Structure 1
């Protein structure tokens, strides 16, 4: 049986752990050549080796324009094309808005917003040469609503939604679709490093989520596969929310 991403070459940033790793696994399982990119070199290389097959690792600081060019040029040199970019890499930090500084906001935005911006620029030419492609930007429910303590993080994720819309309009004539994947709370290192385990285990914590639990990385990954595949060939400039219903009930 042919996978939904058979013959495609995909680049996934922030792929060393969490749902970025799950997305890379899902892409590979659907037949894609997958390049896992991350600043965590040892973890990322180990993840690519664990996936095996055609999975590869590339060290990438998404805030570095030259690094983007090097990684993308390398992919095209090895495989002749690049069909999918999943802009997943992100920093997560919470804290009172009044305690934020311009410097701390800029450090977070370097990865969460400037990184996807550079990625879009870096892949547009090879995607166009290959007849088109799919760019998926990973935002957050913090980019859909206001959460206390999420001033800087939320700002970057709201802005990423706007970048998605503009890029979708501008790149459509080139055959490139640009969409936004919006996860809610997803089990994994990012969530678990910021929310105590006893809180996550408390049913009261999920009172505002109709499905009453955190998402699983593979559930986000399945949504990413849809947006990356030709199943979504008439889908662009839109958002797919994977949050257990948490933002649909307020």
Structure 2
């Protein structure tokens, strides 16, 4: 949870003033500031990279969330990162988290749903319980964000008494769902992953109409092969502890042949896209599915599956 503050103004016709002092959360140096953000799945490599991006930090990643938060808070005292363990696919826990955010900061601006599970790699290994777990992690969590975050994002507030505080005079917000290229393609891993990733994109597409008039945008990021630091050695083939397939499942030769940029992506490259969607720079983008796969699905759509 990254707490900073910012706002945007409106003109006489109610349109957003793009040159307002607080509209864009990016300073001239390109760093994000000003918003109160929630990032789920922050202990995953991709979620961790997103947290670093939203915190505007250049800090080495860490597997220990407590250490990561301590490093960010020490390096950037105007940024407050708070660990908040909760069941991301639980309705009551989601509502409690939102209440705590509003009680502490008076506002909510960004919600990034980056939790995710692979599920088993084959139909034979897939049980109904596996399918349920994947739908909870990959699509139920974004659904709760869509349902409950926008009313909190509509809250306006006067300037707070914490560092970087500024008033929020207009309702607005950004919901970012981190899914996978499995949101539009089949066979990227197992059936659980494909079905629940399609459902995650469905949440985004359904959200555009339901969010009309709220000032809240919702978008999807669909990563392809991302090197999350996991290889096949000792890898749990059931996939229940990982978010994305290991990049090592495709050899370097296969990556050169099948990916336009000839390599797997990095978690930081997904984080930068999330920072863009969280910011005012993407103010006219909603309902989009930004595919971050180095061009693989465009160049060789039939070879994307592993």
Q: TM-score, normalised by structure 2?
A: 0.72
Q: Secondary structure at the match of 2:263?
A: coil
CA shift, 1:181, in A, is 0.8
Q: Between 202-211 and 173-182, report the one with greater CA deviation.
A: 202-211
CA contact (8 A) 2:43 2:64 kept: yes
Structure 1: state its 5+ residue gaps. 31-41
CA contact (8 A) 1:18 1:190 kept: no
Structure 2: state its 5+ residue gaps. 1-26, 58-62, 157-170, 238-244, 302-306
CA contact (8 A) 2:276 2:282 kept: yes
Q: Which protein has the larger Cα radius of gyration, Structure 1 or Structure 2?
A: 2
Distance 2:95 2:179 in 1: 23
RMSD, aligned CA: 2.2
What are the equivalent positions in structure 2 for 1:173-212 lying under 5 Å apart?
Answer: 173-189=213-229, 193=235, 199=249, 202-212=252-262
Q: Secondary structure at the match of 1:59?
A: coil
Question: Deviation string for 1:53-92 (max 9, x for gaps)?
Answer: 3111111211111111111111111111010000101112
Matched, 1:116 2:142: yes
- Which of 206, 214, 227 is residue 264 of structure 2 equivalent to? 214
Matched, 1:240 2:280: no
Q: Which has the higher helix share?
A: 1
CA contact (8 A) 2:118 2:192 kept: no
Q: TM-score, normalised by structure 1?
A: 0.87
Question: Deviation string for 1:180-214 (max 9, x for gaps)?
Answer: 11111111156764667865553235421111111
What are the equivalent positions in structure 2 for 1:76-91 lying under 5 Å apart?
Answer: 76-91=102-117
Question: Deviation string for 1:218-248 (max 9, x for gaps)?
Answer: 1111111110000000100111111001111
Distance 1:128 1:4 in 2: 24
> What is the number of equivalent residue pairs in this alignment?
239
